[in-house]
Amino acid sequence: MCKECGCPAHGSSQVKFFVKGIGENARDAEKSLRGMPGVYFISINNIDGLTTVFYAPSRTTFNDIKIKLAEHGIEALA
């Protein structure tokens, strides 16, 4: 277990990237992504757009994450 966020450290990946188009929709996007299979943690910084995601690549892909963000009007810049 990860000491920082509680995600399963074994078999998970961490990705950090910037997003644009954030606003009040960021919290809704975080909630929606946390509901995806294999997503253990997500944080979107409303100030600079830095986004951190811990996820299981065997259950969800980075492309799936980008698509889910786009559904909330947020563009991943990675």
Indicate the domain borders of the chain: 13-76
Cβ within 8 Å of residue 49, ≥6 positions away? 18, 19, 20, 22, 77
Which CATH class name applies to 13-76? alpha beta
Q: Output the pLDDT for position 70.
A: 95
Q: Mean pLDDT lowest for which of 7-16, 19-28, 68-77?
A: 7-16
- The pTM for the full model equals 0.82
Give the confidence band of 13 by pLDDT, cuts at 50, 70, 90. confident
Q: Using CA atoms, how far apart are residues 28 and 40, in angstroms rounded to an integer? A: 16
Question: Over the stretch 35-64, which tens digit does the pLDDT of each residue have?
Answer: 999 999 999 998 999 999 999 999 999 999
Q: What is the mean pLDDT of residues 21-34?
A: 90
